[in-house]
Structure 1
Amino acid sequence: MRASILLVMPLTLALYAGPAQAQQAEKAPQNVKIGVLSDMSGLYADIGGQGSVIAARMAVEDFKPDSHNMKIEIVSADHQNKPDIGSAIARRWYDIDHVNAITDVPNSGVALAVSNVTREKNGVFLISGAGDSDLTGQQCSPNSVHWAYDTWALAHGTGGAIVRRGGKSWFFVTADYAFGHALERDTAAVVKAAGGQVLGSVRHPLNTADFSSYLLQAQDSKAQVIGLANAGGDTINAVKQAAEFGIVQRGQRLAGLLVFLTDVHALGLQTAQGLTLTTGFYWDLNDKTRLFAKRFAALDGGKYPTMVQAGVYSSVLHYLEAVAKVGSATDGAKVVEAMKATKYDDPLFGLTEVREDGRAVHAMYLVEVKKPAESKGPYDYFKVLDKIPADQAFRPLTDEKGICGLVKAAAN
C-alpha cells in the first residue's frame, strides 16, 4: 500500500509541474509600436505619405516578427506640415498610445520639433523624409537616426557637380522654412568654396502655386544657375513655370537641389529631361532594388518608391533588428546605440553604418533625368552619372566636433 502511494505521488507532481514549466517557456511576445508620421495630403504626400506606411509594413514583414517573438504594430498620422501638430501627435503617441519609434516626417520644421519630443520621451526617431543637416549637427540627438539624405549631401552632390561644369554664379529660389534655409546655406557654401558667387535669393511660402514673381527676380539677376531650394509640389510648380517662361532656353541653368522620382513622373520627361540631381536610392540600381520596387509597386497602385520611402523601409528594418538585439524597445537611446554598433549590408542603400551623430552613412548617386527617347517605360527616368562613396557623400564627422554634442562627447 505504501509503495503504491510513493509511486503515485511523483507522477502526480510531474503532471502539475509540466504545464507550469511550459507556461514559463512560452514567453509573451514583445510588443513594439511604430508611428509613421508624414504628409498624407499635401505637397509631400507622393514623396512619403501612404507609400511610407507601405514601406514600413514591408520592413516588418521582412523582419519576420514571429521568429523574434515580437508583435509589431504600425500606426500613422498626418502632420499637415505644421510643427505644432507634428509635436502634439508625437507627444500623444509616446504618452498615451505607447509608440516606441516614429519614422519618416518630411518637413524639417516638423522633424526638429518631433526630435525634441522624442528625446524628452526617450523614444526613437527614424528620420527619412526631412533633410536639414542640422538634425545631425547642432540639433543632433542620442535618440535619432537620420537615414536617407540631408542638405549637405545634396549641396555637395548636385551643387558641386554643377559648379564643376561651369555654373559659377547662383541665385536661389528658396522655400521659407528650415529645410529650404539649410539647403540654400549648404549649397551657397559649396559655390563660394569653389570660387563662385551667390548673386541673391528670394524666399517663397510653403506650397506656392504661382512662382512667376520669384522666377522673374531670378531671371533679372542674370545668374548662370537658378537653384531651387525646395521640394515636392513646390519644385514641380517651379520647374513647370520656368519652362513656360523659357528660362533655360534663354541661357540660364535650372538646378533642382532636391528632386524625387515622383517629381519627374509628375513633370514628364519632356519638361524634366537634363535635370541633374542627387539621390541615395534609385529603384533600377541592382537586382535587390528592382525586387523591392516591384513589390512596393504591387502594393501602391503601380507607383515606384522614392528615396524617402526606401529610407523608411531600411531604417525600420534595422531598428527592429536593434530592438531584438537589446531585448526591449522601451529605452530608445539604448536601441539607437545598438543601431550605431552595427554595420549593415542594406538591400537598398548598400554598405551603411550609423555614426555617433546619428547620421546613417552610405553611398549617394549623381544622376541625370533621361530624354524621352532614352526611357524604356514608366519610372525609367534616371541615368547614373557618378557614385559618390559613403566617406564623401556626407559631412565629415570631424566637422561635427563642437557642433554635435554627441561627437564632442565621443571624442573626449
Structure 2
Amino acid sequence: MRAGALALAGVCGLGGSAFADTIKVGIIGPFSGPFALQGKNFQAGAEAWLAQNGKTVAGHDIELVYRDLPTANPQQARALAQELIVRDKVQYLGGVYFTPDAMAITPLLKQGNVPLVIFNAATSAIMTSSPLAVRTSFTLSQTTTPLGKAAVERGVKKFVSVVTDYGPGVDAEAAFKKAITAAGGEVVESIRMPLNTTEFSPIMQRVRDAGAEGVFAFLPSGPPTLGFVKAFSDTGLKKAGVKLFAPGDLTQESDLPALGEAADGLITSFHYAVSHDSEINKRFVAAADKAIGAPDLLSFPAVGAYDGMFVIAKMIAATGGKQDAEKAVEAVKGLAWESPRGPVKIDPETRHITQTIYLREVAKDAQGRWINKEIASVPDQKDSGLTK
C-alpha cells in the first residue's frame, strides 16, 4: 500500500509540470506476443507521421516512448501508464489496443495532467470514463451499423450473432441487432465467447443447428479472427450458402494472404482499407510500409496511430509545449482533417471520431492480391453506442 500511495502521489505531483524542450509521448501497445502485429502497426503509423511531418512541433522535439502490453491486462496497463507518467514524465499517452486496458488507464489522466489519444480500443463507453480521452480509431457500433441494411439487401435476414464477450463485442452485438431489426431481419441466437477462445468448431455447429442464413461475427483482430474465418469455411458453412458478415476486424489485410479463398466474397464494413484509393493514402501506405518493414504487414491500427500523432501535434501547438491536458483536449474538439481513410472530425461533444464507414468485399485486385475492395460508403458516421 505504501508503494502504491507514493506512486499515486507522484502522478498527482505532475499537475504543475511546465515547459519542456523535448515532449515525450508514451505509446502503450502489444509489441510482443500473439497481437504483436497490432503493436507494430501502432509504431509504423506513428513513425510514418513523424517521417512525413518532422519530429519538431512548435519548436519542441517529440520523443516516442513505447511500452509493451502483450495481451489484455488492465492491472499491467495501469502500471505501465503510471510508469510513463511518473518516471518517464510523458506529456501525452497514446495507443491501447484492448478496451479493458483503456478503462484501467483513464482514472490516471486527470491526476497526471495527461491526455490519452486512443489508437484502437473500440468500446463507446471509454469516452465517458474521462474527459481527457480522445479517439482517433473507431467504435464497434459505428463500424457495425451499416451491415444490417447491407445484409438484408443481399437477401439474408435470419442471423446468429457470434461475438467475443467483452466491451467491443457487446457493443457490436447490440449495434447489429438494432440494425438488422430495423432493416427487417432478425437475430435468432446470440453467442458470446471468452476472449481466449481458439476452438470454433462447436460454435459453427450451433450456427448450423440454428438454421441461420447468415452469421454476424466480431472478434479482436489477430489469431482469433484468422482462426474464426478459417473455421467458418472448413466446417462447410460457407459451402452450404451461409453468409458471413462482420466489421473489418475479421479481414485485416495482413491476414488476407493466409485466408485466401476462405474469405473470398466476405462482406465487411469498416473505417479503413489499405487499398483505399486516395493520394494521401498512397503516401501514407508508402511511409508506413517503410516503417513496418514489409508491405504485407500493414493493417488498420496504423491509421489510428498516424491520425493520433496528428491530433497530438495539434495539442502540442495549442499548449505551446506546456503540460495542460484540459487545454490540449479542448483545442482538438471539432478538429477536422483529411485522413488516409477519408475526411474525419473529432466530435466536440463526445470526443469520438466522425468518419466515413465503407462497405467492403474481399476480392482480388488487378495484380491478383487479396484486398478489402470498397463497394459503397456511408459518410459522416458518428458513434451510435454512447450512453450518457
Consecutive unaligned residues of structure 2, counting only runs of 5 or more, are: 1-18
Query: Which residue of 1 is the match for residue 309 of structure 2?
Result: 316
Aligned equivalent of 1:386 = 376
In 2 relative to 1, CA 160–115 (structure 1 residues): closer, same or farther, beyond 3 Å? farther
- Matched with 2:198 is 209
Judged with a 3 Å threshold, the aligned counterparts in structure 2 of structure 1 residues 173 and 334 are, in CA distance, closer, same or farther, namely same
- Per the alignment, residue 113 of structure 1 pairs with 104
Distance 2:335 2:259 in 1: 40
**C-alpha spacing 1:389/1:235, structure 2 compared with 1 (3 Å):** same
Higher relative contact order at CA 8 Å, sep ≥6: structure 1 or structure 2? 2
Give the Cα–Cα distance (whole angstroms) in 2 for the partners of residues 158 and 99 of structure 1: 40
Q: 2-side partners of 1:217 and 1:238: how far apart?
A: 14
Which one of 4, 28, 43 corresponds to residue 53 of structure 1? 43
TM-score (norm 2): 0.86
Q: Post-superposition shift, 1:202?
A: 2.1
Match of 2:256 among 255, 265, 268: 265
Cα RMSD of the aligned pairs, angstroms, is 2.3
Counterparts of 1:130 and 1:216, CA distance in 2 = 30
- Displacement, 1:316? 1.1
The letter of the residue matching 2:89 is H
Rounded Cα–Cα distance in structure 1 between residues aligned with 2:63 and 2:322: 13
**Pairing partner for 1:129 from 117, 120, 125:** 120
- Residues in 2 aligned to 1:36 and 1:368: alpha-carbon distance in whole angstroms: 32
Q: Alignment partner of 2:176: what SS?
A: helix
Correspondence for 1:286: 278
Q: Judge conservation of contact 2:141–2:172 (CA < 8 Å) in 1.
A: yes
* Cα distance in 1 for residues equivalent to 2:243 and 2:137: 27
Q: Given the alignment, which residue of 141, 150, 165 partners 2:154?
A: 165
User: Equivalent residue of 2:137, what SS?
Assistant: coil
Letter matched to residue 72 of structure 1: I
Contact 1:343 1:354 (8 Å CA) reproduced: no
For 2:245 and 2:56, how far apart are their aligned partners in 1? 47
For 1:149, the equivalent position in structure 2 comes to: 138
TM-aligned CA deviation for residue 341 of structure 1: 4.5
* CA deviation map 1:359-395 (0-9, x unaligned): 121222111110x4x45154x51221112111xx223
Q: Deviations over 1:296-326 (max 9, x none)?
A: 1122221353222111111212211221122
Structure-2 residue corresponding to 1:73? 63
Contact preservation (8 Å) 2:21, 2:61: yes
Q: Is it true that 1:41 corresponds to 2:32 in the alignment?
A: yes
1:52 positional shift = 0.9
% identical equivalent positions: 22
Larger Rg: 1
State the secondary structure of the residue aligned to 1:389.
Answer: strand
1:23 matched to which residue of 2?
A: none
* Alpha-carbon separation, structure 1, partners of 2:273 and 2:106: 27
1:227 aligns with 2:216: yes
| 1:239 maps onto 2:217 in alignment | no
TM-superposition CA deviations, 1:116-148 (whole Å, max 9, x none): 332443311111211112224xx2532111112
> For residues 326-405 of structure 1, what are the structure 2 equivalents within 5 Å?
326-370=319-363, 372=364, 374-378=365-369, 381-390=371-380, 393-395=381-383, 403-404=387-388
The 1:278/1:119 distance shift into structure 2, 3 A limit, reads farther
1:338 to 1:213, Cα distance in 2 relative to 1, 3 A: same
Q: So what's the TM-score if we normalise by structure 1?
A: 0.82
> How much has 1:270 moved relative to structure 2?
1.3
Q: 1:120 to 1:172 in 2, by over 3 A?
A: farther
Contact 1:170/1:224 (<8 A) preserved = yes
Structure 1 residue matching 2:224: 3-state secondary structure: helix
Structure 1: tracts of 5 or more residues without a match: 1-27, 405-412
Matched residues in 2 for 1:77 and 1:67: separation? 23
Letter in 1 for 2:289: A
One-letter code of the match for 1:230?
L
